[in-house]
Amino acid sequence: MINGIPLLGEKFPSLEVQTTHGRMKLPENYKGSWFVFFSHPADFTPVCTTEFVAFQKRFEEFNKLGCKLIGLSIDQVFSHIKWVEWIKENLDIEIRFPIIADDTGEVSKKLGLIHPGKGTNTVRGVFIVDPEGVIRAILYYPQELGRNMDEILRIVKGLQVSDVNDVAIPANWPENELVRDRVIIPPASDEKAAKERLERAKTGEIECYDWWFCHKLLG
């Protein structure tokens, strides 16, 4: 961990938190599941409201991936509860994931989420954590820019596909400009493997631009 910010590949810090769904321990409560931990600057703010609606709209898609959602801001739990009620009453959207009340700021400090020059407000941070409690991706957005939840969903899908199939995921997958919805085969590590890879390409088992750039369909 550098300057209070966890690094990719590290374990998510052990935390005991108060949420709108009661007290929880992280990452213990989500052991065996993926989870997306995200912070927002403040309750009852326009951009954050659009983000919570967007996350909830994709709640079932995350759920199908075995991925939980949990939010955080430096607000007290009663503020979270009233904000969630406001969203339900005025926008007809029921927020079904828990929100951490980090009114002391201790959790945010541990995760490097305090926005420089913005008082005690938190950045729009995102930590994507795997079933072993390992941080697999980190995203940070400034207060003025709302997040793209489809990209966060894509990251979870891509990491799961990579883990299961031992492949890499191309840019903009599954709509990549070169290989479409195909996935990248890791480059060969020696001359023999490189030649074998080109032979496999001749059979149509895989496709290659060259020995170091080969791709295939999933399944």
Give me the residue label for tokens 């490189």: 194
Q: Supply 48's token pair.
A: 């954050």
Dihedral sign, Cα of residue 60, residue 88, residue 114, residue 105: negative
Classify residue 125 by burial, with Cβ atoms within 10 Å: 0-12, 13-18, 19+. buried
Q: Which of 2, 1, 5, 192 lies closest to 115, judged by CA?
A: 5
Q: Following DSSP, what letter does each residue of 163-189 receive, concatenated?
A: HHHT-B--TTTTSBTTTBT-EEEPPPS
Q: Is 214 designated active site?
A: no
Active site residues: 48
